Amino acid sequence: MRETLQALLVQDMARALLLAAAAFVLTLATGGYWIRFLRRHRIGKQIRLEGPQSHQIKTGTPTMGGIIILLPVIVLTVAFNLIDRWSILLPLAVLVAFAILGAIDDYMSLVGSRSKTYGFTPRTKMALMMLIAFGAALALYLPPPFGLANFGQVRVPFMGQFDIGLWFIPFAMLIIVGTSNAVNLTDGLDSLAGWNLTLAFAAYGVITFLNGEFINLMAFCFTLVGACAAFLWYNAHPAQVFMGDLGSLSLGAVLGVIALQSQQWLLLPVVGLVFVAEALSVILQVGYFKWTKRRTGVGRRIFKMSPLHNHFELLGWSETQVMQRFVLVGMVAALVGISLALTINEAQRARMTVERPAITVER
């Protein structure tokens, strides 16, 4: 029985890696067309004036490039990873919903757009994200046919699996929206978000493979890995295209859903360490500025500028140095996350070993 299961897992891994390769080739083949389409329709990024002055040269660079990643992933998933694997409908739906939200936000912030804004107001954007996240959280928690019957399950390193009940719903909403925003904040340097998303999806691909219960998610993760890797071909410094909110919001949200659906969401802050650091830098900067202004009348800052990558740029690091060093940190964080997932599996096996004799005695 064990040998049969191992053989099936190997076959599924081979299939997942083939999907990753197919996503890479398809994304690479269609990326050039989409960049020409975006340029032809003048879908160019409007750079904020308060950002580093070295970034102003990027004004007008094609944005909404997330479509280069999303379309191949959607096509390949529907064609090869959906039939008899209907649980993949949830991450697909979240991917599409956040992509639509991000696309509208991107359109409102285009160079020369009539709105003359940088997109949705923060409150409107957050309300829409929370609404989508609430629907996803319910779908994860509720039993069939309304949901995936996750029932608040979470796997804790060194301890095993636990049920947190209805608390799962607010936690799930926080994770989906928080990860989406964190990836969006990280998408400020060429290749930075793309590289760290590639590493995070690869880590969860391995984690779901090691678990053996979420093989459909494994194939989905590696499809995303292939597409994100191919996007880096066009997003390498100097970038020919930006991911935009269309890409960063949707890919961040689906990363959160994958972590929740695999019940390994406690590992997300480890696997996505760079995303967490970028988001925390903004929270700390804004919070400290408001607190000091209220106490002293003069707002003070912890960092030269947030998100964190801007701080290091102003310290004198080049854009390429910041990107490469953050990616190295992300790579080590992904490895640590995988190793912690192995401790969860060991804890589960140990618990099953202890429980089985008790059942035998009662019989």
Non-local CB neighbours of 292 within 8 Å, separated by 6+ positions: 298, 299, 300
pLDDT (0 to 100) of residue 55: 61
pLDDT in tens, 153-182: 999 998 888 999 999 999 999 999 999 999
**Residue 6 predicted with pLDDT over 70:** no
pLDDT (0 to 100) of residue 356: 46
Q: Is-contact 271 202, C-beta < 8 A? A: no
Encoded tokens for 135 = 């629907």
pLDDT (0 to 100) of residue 150: 83
Does 349 or 277 have the greater pLDDT score?
A: 277
Encoded tokens for 34 = 């989409």
Q: Which of 61-70, 104-113, 162-171, 283-292 has the lowest mean pLDDT?
A: 104-113
Q: Which residue has the tokens 């998100």?
A: 307
pLDDT (0 to 100) of residue 106: 87
Q: Is-contact 249 102, C-beta < 8 A? A: yes
pLDDT (0 to 100) of residue 114: 46
**Domain carrying residue 354:** 2-362
pLDDT (0 to 100) of residue 54: 58
**Residue 361 predicted with pLDDT over 50:** no
**Residue 351 predicted with pLDDT over 90:** no
Encoded tokens for 193 = 């978000």
User: Into how many domains does the chain fold?
Assistant: 1
Task: Tell me the average pLDDT across 111-116.
Answer: 50
Quote the crossing angle between the two packed helices 2-40 and 66-80, to the nearest 10°. 140
Instruction: Give 8's pLDDT tier (boundaries 50, 70, 90).
Output: low
Task: Tell me the average pLDDT across 4-12.
Answer: 65
pLDDT (0 to 100) of residue 268: 97
Q: Is-contact 168 246, C-beta < 8 A? A: no
pLDDT (0 to 100) of residue 354: 52
Angle at 290 between CA 289 and CA 294, to 5 degrees: 120
pLDDT (0 to 100) of residue 53: 55
Task: Tell me the average pLDDT across 93-109.
Answer: 92
Neighbouring CB atoms inside 10 A of 122's CB total 8
Q: Which residue has the tokens 């960092």?
A: 303
**Residue 257 predicted with pLDDT over 60:** yes
> CA of 319: how far to CAs of 42, 232, 297, 363, in Å?
25, 15, 34, 66
Does 220 or 345 have the greater pLDDT score?
A: 220
**Residue 305 predicted with pLDDT over 70:** yes
Q: 3-state SS of 15-73?
A: HHHHHHHHHHHHHHHHHHHHHHHHHHCCCEECCCCCCCHHHHHHCCCECCCHHHHHHHH
Q: Is-contact 253 49, C-beta < 8 A? A: no
pLDDT (0 to 100) of residue 357: 44
Q: Which of 166-175, 190-199, 209-218 has the lowest mean pLDDT?
A: 209-218
pLDDT (0 to 100) of residue 358: 41
Quote the crossing angle between the two packed helices 89-108 and 66-80, to the nearest 10°. 160
> CA of 331: how far to CAs of 90, 196, 210, 270, 358, in Å?
27, 8, 18, 11, 42
Average pLDDT of every residue of the chain: 88
Q: Is residue 150 annotated as involved in ligand binding?
A: no
Task: Tell me the average pLDDT across 247-271.
Answer: 96
Q: Is residue 181 annotated as involved in ligand binding?
A: no
Q: Bridge partners of 249?
A: none
**Residue 51 predicted with pLDDT over 60:** no
Question: pTM, whole model, 2 decimals?
Answer: 0.90
**Residue 306 predicted with pLDDT over 70:** yes
Best CA proximity match to 170, nearest among 194, 147, 152, 150: 152
Task: Tell me the average pLDDT across 332-357.
Answer: 74
Task: Tell me the average pLDDT across 217-231.
Answer: 96
